[in-house]
Amino acid sequence: MHFAPVLRSEALKVLTLRSLCGTLLAVFAVTTAFSALAGVPHASDADYDPLFTALSGVMPGQIAAIAFGAVVVSSEYQGNGIRLSLAAVPQRGRWFAAKLAVVAGSALVVGLLTSFAALLAARAGLGAAAEGLTAGEQARGVVGCGTYFMLMALLAAGLTTLFRSGVATLSTLIPFILVIAFVIGDAAGGVTEFLPDQAGQVVIHQTHDGTLGPWTGLAVTAGWSVAALLVGAWRLRGRDA
């Protein structure tokens, strides 16, 4: 079977499953709402970062992006749906590539729309406090935030393929992102800078310290995602459906 019909069938799965559409809607709603709430005037100080404040909704929004990547894959393992999918597309690598293309494309489009809406909502509240942001910084924040959402969704998709369980993925990734970096931050020194969430979120800061810059930080997150996808692909090819 050619790649195009496989891609089309995988896209239809996303568009016709309410749970998947719901998680994408949650990415938009949660991120925009939290950014709007954060978009209130702040006293000017050395630590104030208007770009990060405007896009701070990415913190809760990434949970929905992770859930999307996990649910897209885990839905295949419910009721042995994976057996039907692989019977229709025996080339497992082609099927997996189509699945990932749908995850990446959907998360990127929704992520870009979300980050743009979040920035507008927050700027309306920040007013003069956001005047220091240049057009380039805002464009970098929007594009970087959308890309970050995509990479986190792919990371979740890769881990779900490895674990064959969305629950296991969420139970691993969410505590890792919300707790681990803060718990080991002081003890580990600069190591936490290279964790997938910490590295990727550099792109939504107006200024940044440390080793990684906006795009090198996203590259580190991309490395985590690629590693998870490679391990997931290995598990998919080496185990019976």
Please report the pLDDT score of residue 131 as a whole number.
Answer: 77
Q: Per the domain annotation, does 53 fall within a domain?
A: yes
Residue 184 falls inside a structural domain = yes
User: Would you state the pLDDT for residue 79?
Assistant: 78
Q: How high is the pLDDT of residue 46?
A: 53
What burial class does residue 186 get, using C-beta atoms within 10 Å of its C-beta: 0-12 exposed, 13-18 middle, 19+ buried? Answer: exposed
Q: What is the pLDDT of residues 109-153, one digit of tens each?
A: 999 999 999 999 988 888 777 777 888 999 999 999 999 999 999
The CA distance from 228 to 159, in Å, is 6
| Entry pTM | 0.93
Mean pLDDT value across the chain: 88
pLDDT at 26: 96
Domain tally, the chain = 1
In a domain, 45, yes or no: yes
**Joined tokens for residue 164:** 């064959």
- What pLDDT does 240 receive? 61
Number of helices followed by number of strands (H, E) in the chain: 11, 0
In a domain, 181, yes or no: yes
Q: Determine what percent of the chain is predicted with pLDDT higher than 70.
A: 91
pLDDT reported for residue 230? 97
Question: Residue 188 pLDDT > 60, yes or no?
Answer: no
Residue 241 lies in a domain: no
Q: Is the pLDDT of residue 16 over 70?
A: yes
Rounded CA-CA distance 161/156 in Å is: 9
Which carries the bigger pLDDT value, residue 39 or residue 188?
A: 39
In the Cβ-directed half-sphere of 223, how many Cα atoms lie within 13 Å? 11
Domain for residue 50, yes or no?
Answer: yes
Residue type, 79: G
Over residues 35-85, the pLDDT tens digits come to: 988 866 554 555 678 899 899 999 999 999 999 999 999 999 887 788 888
Cα torsion 66, 72, 77, 82: sign: negative
The model's confidence at residue 218, banded by pLDDT at 50, 70 and 90, is very high
Domain with 120 in it: 3-236
The answer to whether residue 12 sits within a structural domain is: yes
In a domain, 211, yes or no: yes
Q: Distance (Å, rounded) from C-alpha 91 to C-alpha 101?
A: 16
For residue 45, the model assigns a pLDDT of 55
